[in-house]
Amino acid sequence: DYPELAQSLIQHCPDPTCMALIGSAIYDFCSQYIPAYNSETKKRYTEQAEALERIASQIATVMHDRNKTIALDLVNVPHEFLLGTNLLWVCRSTSRVNFAVTPPVQTTASMDWHNGITSPLPVFLLTLICPFLLAANSLQSWAEGPMDNKECSIERANLWERMKRFYSSARAKHMLQFIVYLAFLIMMTVVLLAKDTTQTKGALEIYLMVHYMVFCLMDVAAFILHWYASSWSTAYRSAKTTPFTFFNYFTYVVFLVWLVLRACAFEDLNVVQEVLVFFLILCYVRILDYLLVFKPFGPHIIIMKPMLQEFSIFLVVIIIVLVPQAIALQRLSFPYLEEFSVADFLSSLEYPYYNLYGEIEPDGLSGMRTDCAPNGINCPLANPMSNVLQVLYLFFALVLLINLLIAVFSEVFNRLSPKALDLWQLDRLTKTQNYRNRSAVPKPYSLFTYAYKICRFSAARVFNRGSEDKTPYGQLSRVVINEKRRIDFVEAAVNTKVFQAEKASTTLLATVREINNMLKSKAAYLSFRMNQRAYAVREERKEARKTEKDSAGARRLLGVLSSEVSKERLLCKSVRNIRDAFFSLLEEVKTMNNAMDAAVR
């Protein structure tokens, strides 16, 4: 759609998709801080951000249509320019909605969610309880992941590998956490409805205190860990993963208030129960956060947040109209009241507030109440001015403001309804990416897992304090690392196949041939990657000879690229050595097979 901008990106950028996505985020960020009176510049920045994001989206979509593997590498492979992160991280950190709905991004999110094992919800829940159902191939649907191949197929794996794959999926982790949270709500409901007048804490109540306190501390510890490992901004982005982030932290504050009151044996138990009731309501509202990942609920929950933002603005107008009406009616209906307390002021707000819902009592304003005699002290007197103010208030608040609120809600729904599905897909991508590093054990029972990670991270910081390379495989790309993992898988398969061949020598020749074909394909693919990187090195050398402006920087760049190529060559050489070893093994097997055939004859 923007050929000139796209050609400029291709000519001047080594990775046009990455630069287009970053440029879109930068222009969008700058447009938010441009003053409102500079509308032309703000509009130009917004259009530039949309154009760059659309270019990145079109590149990803077209590549996915032609070659899905390359498209998945495009969004998953880390970039040195992004300090080891990938385009998925840029997408979810900068809220690039149009890029988040492209096929390669959604394919990655879907595979992270299911992890290659898809099944209907009833079958999934039964498998979650009884994982031995994974052995039944007819109950599950097996799908290959973005980085899987036929050798690593989940369908060929044994039951233990399937169980590890199943419980490491984001879907299983999320559902386990949801089940634990529902059990927590049930226990809290029992504690709230049970009679407790002796101020003695039962075992269930103590368990709930410890449960939710550990839950809060784990979230705070995760935030501090992100802050210590990277920076404050990165930790803030990591914590702000859902629209309910600030709501969750507000729930933590209410819980701490109730915990302090209960632990200190506060005398007025009614106050403690009121705080607990308010905390229970917040916890039940938090169920929406767990339902956000499901498609029937997610898009509608996403729309609720902007509606509440519009309602907060409308609420200020309601308060401005309601408070003077309450004060005026209080003064006109009770002219002889001498003392006026805060409780009287709050009670005076009830009548105009319930008027908003159509609860109107004209007898009170006319001074014709039957339960008391009008005296202007504790029973209202009739005043014509009260009726006039009531008519104006009902017209302005009940007729105008309520209908205006309905119109605003309709406008927000019509504006966000077409984008709700895209926003939900971006939110699901963020959740699935965050579930990658989380344990399958739900919080707060995963406390020991968090403690182990913190100790391991602290030990790594202490032992690598004087080292320059603190990140393993810092200069290797994800493609090479993934190929190394696949080679390790092949080596494990070799050991298994050879062990089986010792028991059944007649199948040894076919086994070695199969493994040999596997190694040939992997060696050819890795050689192709090495040639690509070598070609990039030669192109960089040509550019360095042409410019010759910064020879030192060019030498450093060539040194880094040469080191990467040398590492890939060593890796490819190891593959060739393995293949040569299997060639020799193949010859020995042929000789053994001929000898066995001769012995049989």
The verdict on residue 519 lying in a domain is yes
Rounded CA separation 111/75 (Å): 14
Measured CA distances, 93 to 170, 187, 242, 249 (Å): 19, 37, 12, 21
Q: Note whether 9 and 20 are within 8 A (CB).
A: yes
Mean pLDDT of the chain: 75
Same domain, yes or no: 316 and 213: no
Same domain, yes or no: 311 and 413: yes
DSSP letters, 339-389, are ---HHHHHHHTHHHHHHTTT---HHHHHT--SSS---SSSSPPP-HHHHHH
The verdict on residue 271 lying in a domain is yes
Domain boundary among 84, 114, 144: 114
Domain boundary among 240, 260, 291: 291
Residue 284 confidence (pLDDT): 93
Residue 187, amino acid? M
Rounded CA separation 369/361 (Å): 10
The verdict on residue 157 lying in a domain is no
Number of domains the chain is built from: 4
Same domain, yes or no: 108 and 173: no
The verdict on residue 464 lying in a domain is no
Same domain, yes or no: 380 and 416: yes
The token pair at 155 is 């369908």
Region 275-304: mean pLDDT is 90
Q: Find the domain containing 378 and state its range.
A: 302-423
Region 304-309: mean pLDDT is 84
pLDDT digits (tens, 9 = 90+) for 405-414: 888 888 888 8
pTM: 0.67
The verdict on residue 161 lying in a domain is no
pLDDT digits (tens, 9 = 90+) for 41-62: 888 888 888 888 888 888 889 8
Same domain, yes or no: 309 and 284: no
Same domain, yes or no: 282 and 316: no
The verdict on residue 463 lying in a domain is no
Residue 283 confidence (pLDDT): 92
Residue 465 confidence (pLDDT): 54
pLDDT digits (tens, 9 = 90+) for 339-374: 777 777 888 888 888 888 877 776 656 555 666 666
Same domain, yes or no: 311 and 281: no
The verdict on residue 491 lying in a domain is yes
Domain boundary among 388, 408, 423: 423
> 265 in helix, strand or coil?
coil
Same domain, yes or no: 183 and 99: no
The verdict on residue 436 lying in a domain is no
> Which range (85-94, 207-216, 244-253, 577-586) has the least confidence?
577-586
Same domain, yes or no: 313 and 280: no
Same domain, yes or no: 495 and 576: yes
Same domain, yes or no: 331 and 275: no
Same domain, yes or no: 239 and 351: no
